[in-house]
A and B are shown apart, each in its own frame.
Chain A
Amino acid sequence: MKKALITGVTGQDGSYLAQLLLGKGYEVHGVKRRTSLFNTDRIDHLYVDPHEANRKFILHHGDLTDSSSLIRIIQQVQPDEIYNLAAQSHVAVSFEEPEYTANSDGLGALRILEAIRILGLEKNTRFYQASTSELYGLVQEIPQRETTPFYPRSPYAVAKLYAYWITINYREAYGMYACNGILFNHESPVRGETFVTRKITRALARIKLGLQDCLYLGNLDAKRDWGHAKDYVEMQWLMLQQDQPEDFVIATGVQYSVRDFVNAAAAEIGFNVTWKGEGISERGFDENGNCIVSVDPRYFRPAEVETLLGDASKARDKLGWVPRISFEELVSEMMREDMKSAERDEIVKKHGFNTFNYHE
């Protein structure tokens, strides 16, 4: 039985990947940080009580900023595959916490590679590094593929670029099976609530039920290539099953603006948004003339990434990978799930129980 270790197992990708690997018969080990609040919502359905025999899903406390914890876990687990999905993954926050971002996203990847080497596992353990389309930043070519030069525009992207290169350096210098998946944006109903897609579907659901008045967004013109996380984690697994380690771009090849996303999500629940004004004065109104979307410059990034569009031909040709879930299906699923949560909150509230608004 193969053993996999997933860092970032409590996150969107980690939870989908854990589920995929469990389905393939893996013993799955996850690394989670100690936090003062529970953060295991996304893997609650996979959790197995430690008192049960033959557990296939096991959690370990660890942290990418703590090298001894990583060495200890990798030593104990002796994994066949390591998926490094943990990161401070929020671009805007990386401007506020550049050091922490570098420590976890850049140095964190290096610490795992070093742990593999120190433990003498370089010929046994395969390593997947979650790279990102943010590396392309100020894009040098449209669409972006594996050979497109990088031009990072945030501390997040720069830290991830370090991890990208150090993964390649270790592969070439030590003959490790290590590779980068350069994933374009990928979303799902369990996407973090502060990422723009989830922020939109969650807010629209709450506006629909009268729990909130208005959704504030940054750059409505930003264009992204949005896929479904469930499709993308399959690719992460595929990349580690090849004869030779290689880096791959994973994307849908289709691009939508943030405004497009709002329109699609709103349409799902019967809102028809009318846009008025331009730039920072742009507003979106519902049929009754209520302003439900507004631009707030505080959500602009110090350096914007205007457009990202991926070309995943290499993944299609070499791995036979194609995304199965369309943009429309993605938006529809996210909207449906966030409507459910909002309805649950509404019911709970109506019966006099406490609900949380979870403001950032």
Chain B
Amino acid sequence: MKRALITGITGQDGSYLAELLLEKGYEVFGFARQESWYRPNCASHLAGRVRLLFGDLIEGVDIANAVQDAQPDEIYNLASQSRPGESWARAPETLLVNGLAATRLFEAVRHNRPSARVYHASSSEMFGRLSKSRRQDETTSFAPVNPYAAAKVYAHHMASIYRDSYDLHIACGILFNHESERRPLHFLTQKVAYGAACAALGIKNSPHRNERGRPIVEAGKLALGNLAVARDWGYAPDFVRAMWLILQQDQPLDFIIGTGELRTLTELCEVAYQSVGCDWRECVLSDPVLVRPLEPGHVLADASRAREVLGWYPTVSFEEMVARMVSAQMVRLKPLLDSGEIA
């Protein structure tokens, strides 16, 4: 039986990946901070089916210990401070978790388990400042515009140096945005899904709050930043399948994973509110406070290599994904409404 170690198992990608690997008969080890595991998280339902190794990525000894204990055949390094916008306020921590932790993991693999195959989660944020006219592939150079992206560039290059210098099997997936019902509420897509669910249920002041401590939907309005931003948004369960495929190749190779379709935030709002028969224009406003200091350009994937080498393609459409996310938020809010917790 193959053994896999997942960092960031309590997150969206980690939990979907754990499910996929369990289905394929893997013994799954999860590396997590004790406090993230013991509060409700995306992988709570897997308790008893995965083995938890507790530790903190900020401490190098912890990850070395986990590699030593799990003796994994495959390692998926998914843990990160995952909010580019917030990385301005938490730049040093972001570098420690998203950058240095990867180096510590690669060192641990090099010394304790050099036969392991390692998947590292790189990000389309690394491309940063780009023109609208072209797509990004595996040869596109990086121009990070926030501390999150700069830390991801650091880890991506370290992966390549460890692969080339020590003959380790380390491969990076440069993943474009990928969303799901499991996205936390402070992510843009989930906020929109939540807003649409509130609109559908007639909730004017939402019980959940945004990063500024205000209700996400206040007086019937959802506050967003720059509505013109465009992203290549895919569905997370499709993307974790790509992660697994990447590690099944004989040679470690980096891959772009994305749908290749660009959608603006306006379009996202349209699809989400339409799925419940509402008009987004009546429910969404743009608040300058929520605009990031520096916005990356339009990021659009050219995933030809993944299609040709891995046979990977997305199976869930943008519309389908958004509809699922909105329904999930309705399922979450309905009982609160029925029990009278929301006025």
Q: A162-B154, A169-B146, A173-B293 are in contact. Are A99 and B141 (CB under 8 A)?
A: no
Instruction: Tell me whether B165 and A95 are in contact (CB under 8 A).
Output: yes
Residues of A contacting B166 in the complex (Cβ-Cβ under 8 angstroms): 302
Q: How many A-B residue pairs have CB under 8 A?
A: 85
Instruction: Tell me whether A169 and B158 are in contact (CB under 8 A).
Output: no
Interface: A114 (CB within 8 A): yes
Q: A302-B166, A303-B164 are in contact. Are A98 and B158 (CB under 8 A)?
A: yes
Q: Which 5 A-B pairs have the closest CB atoms?
A: A302-B165, A173-B293, A149-B141, A165-B150, A158-B157
Other contacts beyond A99-B100, A102-B100, A303-B165: 10, CB < 8 A: A102-B154, A107-B100, A149-B141, A152-B161, A157-B157, A162-B150, A165-B144, A166-B150, A169-B294, A173-B146
Minimum distance in angstroms from A349 CB to a CB of chain B: 41
Interface residues in B82-118 (C-beta closer than 8 Å to A): 88, 91-92, 95-96, 99-100, 103-104, 107
Instruction: Tell me whether A107 and B150 are in contact (CB under 8 A).
Output: no
Interface: A154 (CB within 8 A): yes
Interface: A150 (CB within 8 A): yes
Residues of A contacting B153 in the complex (Cβ-Cβ under 8 angstroms): 161-162, 165
A149 to B294, CA, bound (A): 21
**Closest Cβ neighbor of A165 among chain B residues:** B150
Interface: B192 (CB within 8 A): no
Residues of B contacting A103 in the complex (Cβ-Cβ under 8 angstroms): 100
A169 to B60, CA, bound (A): 28
A67 to B96, CA, bound (A): 14
Interface residues in A130-159 (C-beta closer than 8 Å to B): 149-150, 152-155, 157-159
Minimum distance in angstroms from B92 CB to a CB of chain A: 6
Instruction: Tell me whether B146 and A159 are in contact (CB under 8 A).
Output: no
Interface: B147 (CB within 8 A): yes
A106 to B94, CA, bound (A): 12
Minimum distance in angstroms from B238 CB to a CB of chain A: 30
Interface: A111 (CB within 8 A): yes
Instruction: Tell me whether A161 and B154 are in contact (CB under 8 A).
Output: yes
Mark contacts of A286-306 with chain B using CB atoms, 8 A cut-off: 1 yes-contact digit, 0 otherwise.
000000000000000011000
Interface residues in B37-89 (C-beta closer than 8 Å to A): 60, 88
Instruction: Tell me whether A110 and B92 are in contact (CB under 8 A).
Output: yes
Interface: B151 (CB within 8 A): yes
Mark contacts of B268-309 with chain A using CB atoms, 8 A cut-off: 1 yes-contact digit, 0 otherwise.
000000000000000000000000011000000000000000
Residues of A contacting B262 in the complex (Cβ-Cβ under 8 angstroms): none
Instruction: Tell me whether B157 and A99 are in contact (CB under 8 A).
Output: no
A interface residue numbers (CB < 8 A to B): 67, 95, 98-99, 102-103, 106-107, 110-111, 114, 149-150, 152-155, 157-159, 161-162, 165-166, 169, 172-174, 302-303
Contact of B95 among A67, A107, A150, A173 (CB under 8 A): A107
Residues of B contacting A114 in the complex (Cβ-Cβ under 8 angstroms): 91-92
Contact of A162 among B60, B95, B145 (CB under 8 A): B95
Instruction: Tell me whether A154 and B161 are in contact (CB under 8 A).
Output: yes
Determine chain A's interface SS by DSSP, over half rule: helix
A165 to B296, CA, bound (A): 14
Number of chain B interface residues as a range: 20 to 34
Residues of A contacting B150 in the complex (Cβ-Cβ under 8 angstroms): 162, 165-166, 169
Residues of A contacting B92 in the complex (Cβ-Cβ under 8 angstroms): 67, 107, 110-111, 114
Interface residues in B135-192 (C-beta closer than 8 Å to A): 141-147, 149-151, 153-154, 157-158, 161, 164-166
Residues of A contacting B95 in the complex (Cβ-Cβ under 8 angstroms): 102, 106-107, 110, 162
Instruction: Tell me whether B103 and A150 are in contact (CB under 8 A).
Output: no
A to B CB contacts below 8 Å, 11 in the list: A95-B165, A99-B103, A107-B100, A161-B154, A161-B157, A162-B99, A162-B150, A165-B144, A172-B293, A172-B294, A173-B146
Residues of A contacting B88 in the complex (Cβ-Cβ under 8 angstroms): 173
Minimum distance in angstroms from B145 CB to a CB of chain A: 6
Instruction: Tell me whether B104 and A99 are in contact (CB under 8 A).
Output: yes
Instruction: Tell me whether B145 and A169 are in contact (CB under 8 A).
Output: yes
A89 to B159, CA, bound (A): 21
Residues of A contacting B107 in the complex (Cβ-Cβ under 8 angstroms): 98-99
Instruction: Tell me whether A152 and B165 are in contact (CB under 8 A).
Output: no
Minimum distance in angstroms from B224 CB to a CB of chain A: 20
**Closest Cβ neighbor of A150 among chain B residues:** B141
**Closest Cβ neighbor of A174 among chain B residues:** B293
A313 to B95, CA, bound (A): 34
**Closest Cβ neighbor of B104 among chain A residues:** A99
A184 to B263, CA, bound (A): 43
Residues of B contacting A149 in the complex (Cβ-Cβ under 8 angstroms): 141
Instruction: Tell me whether A169 and B147 are in contact (CB under 8 A).
Output: yes
Interface residues in B285-337 (C-beta closer than 8 Å to A): 293-294
Minimum distance in angstroms from B230 CB to a CB of chain A: 20
Residues of A contacting B294 in the complex (Cβ-Cβ under 8 angstroms): 169, 172-173
Instruction: Tell me whether A158 and B293 are in contact (CB under 8 A).
Output: no
Residues of B contacting A166 in the complex (Cβ-Cβ under 8 angstroms): 91, 147, 150
Residues of A contacting B143 in the complex (Cβ-Cβ under 8 angstroms): 165
Mark contacts of B2-19 with chain A using CB atoms, 8 A cut-off: 1 yes-contact digit, 0 otherwise.
000000000000000000
